[in-house]
Structure formats: structure tokens, C-alpha cells
Amino acid sequence: MMESPMVMENFVEIEGRWTDIEKIIKRSGPLASPDFVPDTTEAPTIKNGLQSDFKVLVIGAGGLGCEILKNLALSGFRNIDVIDMDTIDVSNLNRQFLFRRKDVGKSKAEVAAAFINKRVAGCKVTPYKCRIQEKDDDYYRQFKVIIAGLDSIEARRWINGLLVNLVVKDNEGNIDPLTVIPLIDGGTEGFKGQARVILPRITSCFECSLDSFPPQTKYAICTIANTPRVPEHCIQWALIFGLEDKSIPKPFDSKAFDNDNPQHMTWLFETAKKRAEEHKITGVTYKLTQGVAKNIIPAIASTNAIIAAATCNEAFKFCTESSGYLNNYMMYNGQSGVYTHTFEYEMKEGCAVCGTNIVTYAVEPKTTLSTLLEMLANDSQFQFKKPNLRSNGRNLYMQGILHESTVPNLEKTLEELGVGEGDEVTITDPSLPGSIAVRMRVNYKQTENK
């Protein structure tokens, strides 16, 4: 027989709902933090923190995000924000269980939030249908912890760089712990998954392990811009240059391009096809355009559930101090059984985000700027998407409105561009927050006489 409910804060709270959680927060144990103070009936400090004080941000409302939101709400968290720029597609319904067929075409964040708010009494999930880059620093400073359930390396790099940049140090280099916002990152691919805890400026950051990810297929910028040879070059041209070209009409804002939007993808296909026709290239199809524009990652519901549980478990431990947190990387493989392995990913010396930001590159004086760009594109430690290069107060190569004026530099050598021995080249990229830049110190190596 169901217990009688009691009324709290204008909603009906079922008596005994949080019994399992109270078993953890009302008693200590060997794994609890030294600062852990169990809740009492008279002073439910931890419970009140979960339900009132601790604000959590979930980035992504897809396969992982739906599971994460559900887990947080059922773990006692009531103050949750969720950001996702995507809309619901029919293909999402087999694993993103907060959505129904009637929701197809609607905002993932808004539908997911409405579902949780209706199902879990007292929980307030606030949705935002936007890009994470559209929020300012003050928005992110308000959260106790941030959980990322993303399928984009670029988005992970951006939020990682932002949180590293928010950490405040005093004149002696000591970190203000109140400015450290933990980032809990989850990711899945088929039967494989990973959960990771990142404490900005304390543990290794996401950028430290970037070279462990296989780099996406890259094409030389100069080839795409001037001498395309294959259909993929034309599609990349539409993505890189077509979106920025104001002379090419678009039925949408180029800054809001969404590769999940059929209208946007149709424009991309037609633009790439026209480019191909101009250069007498065949083979540009809508399917190929989709393949180049987006990486389709296989998803399995059970893997999402396991990884989401792992990330939410870490968030609960951070906020309650009921147990030590993960140090700092857990991988899971369910291909032929259940295998997990936990290890500490160490900070990378010279990391572009949490390190010195200076990377020394050995190049010949006659190296052209286009060759340098190709080297950077194929370097697994960077994986830049649309890099902008400056040196000695001069724009070497820029995207957007300055593209036309800097394209001629692609065929010039570094020597001709005035980049000398020991000079620094500042590189910015959309995958990094605006205030973060990689400084590449040029180190000329002399070609041996033969």
C-alpha cells in the first residue's frame, strides 16, 4: 500500500522517496571524504544542498543526456539546466527515451526538461536551445558541477578550455578552489564508453588527451580554396568558405548552421554541387555531403545507460562528499562481456589549454603557409577546424571576412611573410574559447646541402 504523501513547497512529496539516498548521506563510511558530515533529521544539510543549493548543468540532451537528466532528478538534484541546440529526429526514438513520436521536430532540451519536470515532483529543469558558445562566463560560473554528454570533440574542447580559463590564481600561483568547476565528461561509441573527471588546473584537461582521438580526415586549405579535385573538396569548400561568403544566398544565419537541419544540409549539398560543376567534378551526392559534414557515431542504449550512471555517480559524490571521486578516467567495453579499466590520465606538458600554450615547430624557411596549415591539420595534438594565424602583429591567414585578403599568403613562404627564427605564431580556432590561443614558436631547421 502506498504511503500517504506530505506537502512540501507547493508540490506533493511522496514519503520515503529518498530513503535510498538517505542511507548514503546519513551515515559515514570508509570511502567518505574526511570533511564528510552525515545528515541528521534535525540538520539535513546535504539533502538541502542537493535539492536547493547545488546547481548542475547538463550539456547535451541526446542518448547520454536523457539518461543523465533522469539519473540526476532521481538522485535528489532539483536545480538543473540543460543545453542542446538539436531538434528531435525519428532515428532518436529508439534510445532517447524522454521523446515520443509527437515530439519529432521539437527542441531536445525543451522536451526533455518538460518530461522530467512533469515526472519528478519538485525538480526544475531549465532548458536552453542554443550553442554552448552563446553563453557568457558568468552563466557557467553559477554551477557546482557540469556534466557533458556530447558527441562532438569540438564542443568538449570549448567547454574544457572555458572552465580552465575561469580558474583564478593569486600572485603566487595558488588556485582559488571556489573557482574550480568540475567537468564530468561521458562519451559512448557502440559498445564502448568512457567517463572522466576533470578538475581544471588540477588534473589533466580534455586537451591533454586530444592526441588519443583519431584525427578527422583533413584536406589542404589551398587545395580546397583553389584546385579542388574530388567531391569531398567541394563539400569542404561549402563548409569552410561558402558559409562565410555573403554573396552566396542562404535561407538561414550562417553562424547558426546545423548539420542536423534538413534545410541547412540541402543548401550545403546544392552549394557543393555547384562548386563541383564549375570544376567539372562529379560524385557530389546528398548522402556524401552528410557523411563529410557530420560524423555519425553508432549508439547503443545500454552503453548510454552505463556511462550516464557513472557520470551522475561522480556528480553525486562531488556534491555530497560521501565518497572519493574518480581519479580520473574510466573506460568501459561491453563488446564481448563487461570490461572496465580505471587509470589516471596525467597532465600533458605544453598542453595548449592548461599548459604553457607554447609549442615549438621545426620547419624550413621555405615552408609555405599552406604547408604549415596542412601540418597543423594533420597533427593529432591540435585537430584544428578553422585555424586563424597571426604573427608579429600581422594577419597571416584568417577565416571569415578577412579570408579574401589573406588567401594570397597561402602560397608564400614563412620567410617571405616575415616569420623569422624564434618568432611566435598565434593560432586561434573555433574549438577553443576566444581567450585561449596556441603560440607556436618557429624553429628553423637548415636543409643540408647535397
Which residues form the catalytic set?
222
Parallel/antiparallel/unpaired status of strands 79-83 and 124-128: parallel
Distance (Å) of CA 207 to CA 41, 52, 167, 233? 44, 33, 16, 28
- Calculate Rg over the CA atoms of the chain: 25
For residue 348, the 8-state DSSP code is P
For residue 413, the 8-state DSSP code is B
Distance (Å) of CA 270 to CA 236, 260, 285? 13, 16, 9
Parallel/antiparallel/unpaired status of strands 358-363 and 339-343: unpaired
Parallel/antiparallel/unpaired status of strands 6-8 and 11-13: antiparallel
Calpha distance 143→79 (Å, rounded): 10
For residue 240, the 8-state DSSP code is I
Q: In terms of Cα–Cα distance, which of 99, 55, 73 is closest to 18?
A: 73
Calpha distance 296→264 (Å, rounded): 17
User: What sections of 321-378 are H helices per DSSP?
Assistant: 369-377
Please state, as a whole number, how many other Cβ atoms lie within 10 Å of the Cβ of residue 282: 10
Calpha distance 216→235 (Å, rounded): 15
Calpha distance 163→142 (Å, rounded): 12
Where does 353-436 show beta strands of DSSP type E? Answer: 358-363, 388-391, 394-397, 424-428
Residue 193 is which amino acid?
G
Q: Return the exposure string of 344-382: e unless at least 16 CB atoms fall within 10 Å of the residue's CB, then b.
A: ebeebeebbbbbebebebebebebbbbbbbbebbebebb
